[in-house]
Structure 1
Amino acid sequence: MTEVASNESAIFSGRLSSATQSWLVDHAVNGTVLLPGTGLLELVLRAGGEVGWPLVRELTLQAPLLLPIEGGVQVQVVIGAEESGGRPVSIHSRPEGDVAAPWTGHAEGLLGAGPLPVAAAELAQWPPVGAVAVEVGDAYEVLLGMGYEYGPVFQGLRAVWRRGEEVFAEVVLPEQAHGDAARFGVHPALLDAVLHAPLVVGDGQTVLPFSWAGVSLYSAGAVEVRARI
């Protein structure tokens, strides 16, 4: 982290490469490897936590972060000075080693100073009362036909239920990625697998998440998640 003395901003710099972070190659859409939106969210959560602003009030994705077959990309998370009780945040990248290349903006948002109150979760009884199971045995074959090319690390969806408009999911981080789980608030592949559930029960359109709101992290390093969507 680099603090900017003149305006109380903070800059976090890093590098992403499918060679050194091999799990990234397991996330491709229509033949293109890209950082999942959950990865951008994880970057913001981690940076916000480091400066004492752990709540992602909002985060809007602007452009996908594409990963090259060889080499990597430089990434910056920039947190601005406080404005009206929040701090603006943005994510940019450029090809590694090309100092003349322009930075591409991938997301902009706003951080809050404290986590949201923990909402009462209707997950004590599992599966939830009245929920009807959805067959997911061929889920990743179906998703492949829609353009989602998920490798083993991203194939974490284990069960789905529906109750009216509600969707419930049970996801598990594949064992080969367990060693990485503690390095993240929530491993991007695990959280991304939660988003596979509405795709399975949806209308067959290929979509990507483009915004997040009210995201707080209460514990880290999970390898299994139950979710209501």
Structure 2
Amino acid sequence: GHDLDADRVLGEGTLVPLPTYAFQRERFWMETGRRVSDVRSVGLRASEHPWLGAVTGTAADDGYLFTGRLSLAEQPWLAEHAAFGTVLVPGTGLLELALTAAHHVGAERVEELTLLEPLVLPEDGAVRLQVVVSAPEGESGRRPVAVFSRPEDASDEVAWRHHAAGELAEGADLSGGDEAAELAQWPVAGAEQVSLEGFYDDFAARGLVYGPAFQGLTELWRKGNTAYGLVRLPEGRSVDGFGIHPALLDAALHALVGVQDPEGVDAGTALLPFEWTGVELHASGARELRVAVELDDAAHALSLTVTDPAGLPVIHAEGLRLRAASAEQVRVSQAVEHAYRVA
């Protein structure tokens, strides 16, 4: 009984004649979300994060286990992040899981997080997620954190894939304050604007295809070794439950192009996040960001400062190292566990 804007739903297409026989009205609306039973009935606590359904403390070692489920049917916008034709959960999504775990256990920062293997999402079906936080270690009190996945239909004999490993730490570090203050004025004083014409086409030519959800960079400026970006999340995209939406933070990293030497990246490879250090989330729920990306002397390394439109800190990363990945390396990550299966 509702009007349907087919152009918004289907994008480009061709109109064809409707059949001439009479229509019988049937309801085909997709369900807005899956129904989840009360996890408290099995001794768990519910998680508000869109990717994590439950969390429990582990009695033996003072650790925590977060469990969840991820699929393109439930998070279709993730299909808009692909490398060499393979849909990958963005590295910012794995960081978001670590930040969520840090907030839950009372840690102020992700001291480090190394992305070991891309998390590939299948076209059909789902993957199960586990985020494991171990007990505090030694005098530092840092907690190891790790992110795993396994196909939902896999048997217990199939090994979990290890996607990220790092440490959570207490003690906030308000470094990046100067950069945050600089972002209070927009455009930043003394910066020169960089054209975004054909910007995402250039990414696609290198094998990184970003759909509308990830094309959030709307302005790009440069001053010396620092690039400044204005990033917005598309209308209608919910940020509920996320500390910082992975698509929004991923778009913030696109500002790197403003200071990156294109000759420093080999043809046929794409730069992907590899190692985060010193990451702190100061505010959640952002839909628009101002970004400062400063290129370090080391190759493919940078620091990141992100504020809201008022210049108030949202997230700061002391360091991010990128690593070049080839099409073959990405495809190895989606190796089939079973040679034959019913489909």
Normalising by structure 1, report the TM-score: 0.95
- Equivalent AA in structure 2 for residue 215 of structure 1: V
**Residue 193 of structure 2 corresponds to residue 133 of structure 1:** yes
Q: What is residue 326 of structure 2 aligned with on the other side?
A: none
Deviations 1:107-154 (A, max 9, x none): 110101233226232112211111110001321111111111111100
Q: What is residue 23 of structure 1 aligned with on the other side?
A: 77
Percent identical among aligned pairs is 48
**Residue 115 of structure 2 corresponds to residue 55 of structure 1:** no
Normalising by structure 2, report the TM-score: 0.64
Q: What is residue 197 of structure 1 aligned with on the other side?
A: 255
Return the alpha-carbon distance in structure 2 between the equivalents of residues 97 and 116 of structure 1.
42
SS where residue 68 of structure 2 aligns?
strand
Superposed displacement of residue 176, structure 1: 2.8
Superposed displacement of residue 200, structure 1: 5.6
Superposed displacement of residue 89, structure 1: 0.4
Return the alpha-carbon distance in structure 2 between the equivalents of residues 181 and 4 of structure 1.
29
- Paired residues, number: 227
Contact 1:156/1:172 (<8 A) preserved:
yes
Superposed displacement of residue 17, structure 1: 0.4
Please point out which of 256, 269, 284 is paired with 1:220: 284
SS where residue 273 of structure 2 aligns?
coil
- Equivalent AA in structure 2 for residue 116 of structure 1: D
- Equivalent AA in structure 2 for residue 189 of structure 1: A
Q: What is residue 275 of structure 2 aligned with on the other side?
A: 211
Contact 2:227/2:258 (<8 A) preserved:
no
Q: What is residue 136 of structure 2 aligned with on the other side?
A: 82
Deviations 1:184-218 (A, max 9, x none): 11100000001112136531632101011111111
SS where residue 174 of structure 1 aligns?
coil
- Equivalent AA in structure 1 for residue 161 of structure 2: T
The aligned runs of 1:37-186 (5 Å cut-off) are: 37-83=91-137, 84-98=140-154, 99-117=156-174, 119-120=177-178, 121=180, 122-177=182-237, 180-186=238-244
Bigger mean CA offset, 112-121 vs 10-19: 112-121
Runs of 4+ off more than 6 Å: none
Unmatched tracts of structure 1, length 5 or more: none
Contact 1:182/1:220 (<8 A) preserved:
no
Return the alpha-carbon distance in structure 1 between the equivalents of residues 216 and 107 of structure 2.
30
How much is the aligned-residue C-alpha RMSD, in angstroms? 1.3
Return the alpha-carbon distance in structure 2 between the equivalents of residues 58 and 4 of structure 1.
23
- Report which structure shows greater RCO (CA 8 Å, sep ≥6): 1
- Equivalent AA in structure 2 for residue 171 of structure 1: V
